[in-house]
Amino acid sequence: MRLLMFLTLIISVRGQKGNFPDCKSGPLATFPICDQSLSSRQRAADLVSRMTIAEKITQMVTTAAAIPRLGLPKYEWWSEALHGIAFSPGVSFGGDLPFATSFAAPLNLGASFNMHLVYRMGTVISTEARAFNNEGRAGLTFFTPMLNIFRDPRWGRGQETPGEDPFLTSQYAYALVNGLQTGEDDRYLKIATNCKAYNAYDLEEWNGTDRFHFDARINDQDLVETYLPPFETCIRDARAASIMCSYNSINGVPACANQFLIETLARRSYHLDGFVVSDCGAIATIMYTHNYTRTVQDTVAVALHAGTDLNCGDFYRQHVQEALNNKTIIESDIDQALERIFHVLVRLGYFDPPEQQIYRQFNKDNVNTVEAQQLALETAQEGIVLLKNLNNALPLNFDQLQNKKIALIGPTANATVLMQSNYYGQAPYLIDPITGFKSVIGGRSIDVEFAYGCAISGTDESGFAAAIQLARQSDIVIFFGGLDQATAAEGHDRTSITLPDIQLNLLRQLEQVVHSPIHVVMMSGNSLDLSHIRDSDTYGSLIWMGYAGQAGGLAIAKIIFGQYNPAGRLPMTIYPASYVDLVSMFDMQMRPSPVNPGRTYKFYTGQAIYEFGTGLSYSTFVYSWTNHTMISSYSIQSLIKDNHDEKRIVTKDLRINVTNTGPMAGDNVVLAFVSPPQTPRNDQTPPIKQLFGFERVHLNVNETIQVFFPFSVSALLTVASNGLKWLHPGQYRILIGQQVIHIIELQGKSARWS
């Protein structure tokens, strides 16, 4: 720490352009807010105490007004950085900072199963965020990450999440928040993150009900087992600086008025050390769409008393004074909210001199670095999933393609901004697939031509003829299809999970004229029933590309030509098209029932088109362990007696040797599942299996690496219908892929853990 402080003292101040309070000579200079010997809470409380009521109210909304007499500048709390600095009220691009690095979408990051990659991305994003903030082009508080479970394939915002699994999402939350909030100087938050949208927000608009009116009916079992874990990790373990309450109600109580979720769980149980902000406009929906309150004064009161400190919107600014006047709230309610808010700004170094802060020195030279560009390519490559490779149709061989023609056909072959998914910013460049192919081919005598064919959706077939003619004249046909933000996005859910008809029609006509099996690349942030492509020998390969960011086109080209060996795994289940006819989006239940086939790989009872965790490589990998399946026995009573730490390690015997037996070096994603005894208890169906560990490793040809998975008590716990956790006797099978490598046997009587 002494060396760090010495280094910061010799850093020259570059004339910061950001709008910060002046703690040297401004009106605040002599007040405790500028006294670094005090705690951040003491400093924040004193600042709030010096405001008038009218001034306090101006600070309760995301566009907080300046208070000139205190030397407090205007501050915009709403900045976005889901997978790169993104367009939002607090972010502007221009001047010395016309762009920011645009990484692959969160769903792709989930598909990478590489949390070190996610962490590294977070460090780059936060560095660029600080550079933007220093130039007055971004705030310090960013509304990211999105941690809702991708429970239904129709959800338009599934692309913003790392997938359907609570464990994977929790690990993602931990890695990303740490990458964003921590840095070289542990005295300060690098930026402040926000766990959103708390909770059970995974419906935009379906069957006449939108997210502003939706009441998610969730039993305690699903709440504890599925919906809460990512937020618990984000708040308690990663120590995110804030959370966002969502638009929907949960069991009749709007999320931003839900005292149990915010005060009891987030603050008391998970120890939130920061503020709660509403989703934008969500305070108003308490009254106007959920009809939970009758007056604006009561609406202010239930939100504040539930613990919603900051209003994204204008409801607090308009109505807090009215609530004070009729005594539904008192001034200390306002003070408590503002102290939590300013406490975070203090932790960010907002009031401290710039010359003592490394982060205040970042500028344009820290944005779009060579290292950031390489990392963007890595996020693109690692999240792409090879689903089919008939007779080793891929990778394409340069030598065999000399003097031949490759046709790139379809509506996403020339995609640029589409590759950025949503919540994106201005990228320094966007390498579309066509450009990526030409770059990888270089000066070789291989002809690459493009035909659009059709749009993502619609009925216009006027481009079919040119596409079919090109296919007829080409040696290799690669079809680029998928979805876009008009078919699935924020505010818009799908009703079908098939590929749009226009693309299917074009594919069927291409089938009739091609000279070799068609290669298919799907650019989408959702699952699609691609069983026709999977099952037909007319198709040589199938790749889920997702939305791969600024280097997406280069990444897919490098994979198709074998310059990168794919290793991504599906972070979601790809269901058959009939799934949408079997289950309502309103049904929040995860387990199967007479009207619900079950959700996600943990409970789905049907036959998936592609299962969670599916993904191929150009190499083969062999797993080995001891010659026989080991059984370890433990007494339930001894586990209960020893301590109640769910993270306590039960066994360290789970060591797997991974060997690359294929022709290429490459990564392998090792997924570890536990399958509990398949004995229903109190009519409650146990999970088929559940993920408890994963590791992505790189192996050269013939190389062997040992992977170790610690197995903790948490993987043995069963959540009962009332939300309490239990240990039950029986055999718990540990699987790597589909192979049982170990059995944990619990002996004794069932006992409650919590």
Give the residue numbers marked as catalytic: 279
Q: Is 643 helix (H, G, I), strand (E, B) or coil?
A: coil
HSE-up (13 A, CA, CB side) for residue 662: 17
Is the link from the previous residue into 29 a cis peptide, with omega within 30 of 0?
no
- Phi then psi for 634, rounded to 5 degrees? -140, 145
Q: From CA 347, how far away is CA 634, in angstroms rounded?
A: 45
Place of tokens 């997978």: 83
Contact in structure between 184 and 446 (CB atoms under 8 Å): no
Q: What gap in Å lies between CA 126 and CA 179, rounded to an integer?
A: 8
Question: Which tokens in the block code for residue 60?
Answer: 């309760």
| Per-residue DSSP letter, 223 | I
- What is the identity of the amino acid at 33? I
Question: 167-187: buried (b, 16+ CB within 10 Å) or exposed (e) per residue?
Answer: bbbbbbbbbbbbbbbbbebee
| Phi, psi for 564 (deg, rounded to 5) | -140, 135
Closest Cα to residue 571, out of 131, 161, 58?
161
Total residues belonging to the chain: 754
Return the residue matching tokens 């690669």. Answer: 478
Give the whole-angstrom CA distance, residue 613 versus residue 569: 5
Contact, 407 vs 468, CB < 8 A? no
What is the DSSP secondary-structure string of 74-95?
A: -EE--BB-SSSSB-BTTB--BT
Name the nearest CA neighbour of 209 among 108, 290, 299, 142: 290
Cα–Cα distance for residue pair 462/272, rounded to 1 Å:
56
Q: What residues pair up with 649 in beta bridges, in sequence order?
A: 712
| Lookup: tokens for 355 | 């010359």
- Rounded to the nearest 10 degrees, what angle do helices 501-511 and 464-473 cross at? 30
Tokens 């603050």, residue located: 267
Tell me the C-alpha distance between 60 and 341, whole Å.
9
Phi then psi for residue 539, to 5 deg, are: -115, 120
**7 in helix, strand or coil?**
helix
**Does residue 567 contact residue 668 with C-beta atoms inside 8 Å?**
yes
Q: Pick the closest to residue 572 from 82, 103, 148, 107 (CA basis).
A: 107
What whole-number distance in Å separates Cα of residue 45 and Cα of residue 39?
10
The helix/strand/coil state of 664 is: coil
Here the tokens at position 712 are 């903790």
Please give the structure tokens belonging to residue 402.
């000399």
Q: Which residues pair with 722 in a beta bridge?
A: none
What is the 3-state secondary structure of 346-398?
HHCCCCCCHHHCCHHHCCHHHCCCHHHHHHHHHHHHHCCEEEEEHHHCCCCCC
- Please tell me the number of Cα atoms within 13 Å of 625 on its side-chain side: 17
- Positive/negative CA dihedral, 177, 180, 183, 188: negative
Sign of the CA dihedral with 436 first, then 438, 441, and 447 last: positive
User: Is the separation of the CB atoms in 368 and 101 below 8 Å?
Assistant: yes
Quote the CA–CA distance of 119 and 125 in Å, as a whole number: 10
| Phi and psi at residue 9, to the nearest 5° | -70, -30
